[in-house]
């Protein structure tokens, strides 16, 4: 199925809204069952929707506030790729306050699901890893 530029651009927007809403199931629904998400700056890889949802559940349980602001986006329609530059502001329950400048790279499959996502973070990673 061919996806339009608008459809591809809507995926990161919807994904970040789900993250900001602390909704791990809605975040997970953006990913293919066999998706791979890597946090490149921490050399962490999460394989499959279930593992990705679990990581976000841990992050949400440790967070008081989460807000993402997409500042720039590049869409390659024919390759089903989207790159975003965004700000992340959040406060963790341990009192840590984050104000970060990050980039995400999304590979979208023919069903409109995230097949692969690579995250580059500036600063200390607030995501929870086990």
Strands (E), 7-80: 31-39, 44-47, 63-76
Domain map (residue ranges) of the chain: 5-121
Per-residue pLDDT at 101 exceeds 90: yes
Q: Indicate whether 126 pLDDT > 60.
A: no
Distance CA 1, CA 47 (A): 24
Alpha carbon separation from 130 to 9, 45, 96, 119, 127 (Å, rounded):
31, 11, 19, 18, 10
pTM beyond 0.85: the answer is yes
How far is the CA of 91 from the CAs of 3, 11, 44, 88, 98, in angstroms? 36, 25, 22, 10, 6
Give residue-wise pLDDT tens across range 17-57.
999 999 999 999 999 999 999 998 888 999 999 999 999 99
Instruction: Give the model's pLDDT for residue 41.
Output: 83
- The pLDDT confidence band at residue 127, using thresholds 50, 70 and 90, is low
| CATH level 3 topology of 5-121 | Nuclear Transport Factor 2; Chain: A, (3.10.450)
Query: How many other C-beta atoms lie within 10 A of the C-beta of residue 35?
Result: 21
The more confident residue out of 69 and 129 is 69
């Amino acid at each position: 199925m061919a996806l339009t530029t608008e459809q591809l651009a809507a995926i990161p927007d919807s994904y970040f809204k789900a993250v900001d809403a602390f909704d791990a199931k809605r975040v997970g629904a953006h990913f293919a069952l066999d998706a791979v998400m890597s946090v490149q700056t921490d050399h962490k890889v999460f394989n499959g929707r279930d593992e990705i949802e679990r990581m976000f559940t841990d992050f949400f349980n440790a967070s008081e506030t989460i807000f993402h602001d997409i500042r720039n986006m590049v869409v390659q329609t024919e390759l089903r790729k989207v790159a975003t530059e965004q700000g992340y502001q959040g406060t963790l329950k341990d009192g840590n306050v984050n104000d970060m400048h990050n980039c995400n790279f999304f590979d979208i499959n023919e069903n409109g699901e995230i097949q692969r996502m690579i995250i580059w973070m500036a600063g200390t990673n607030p995501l929870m890893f086990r």
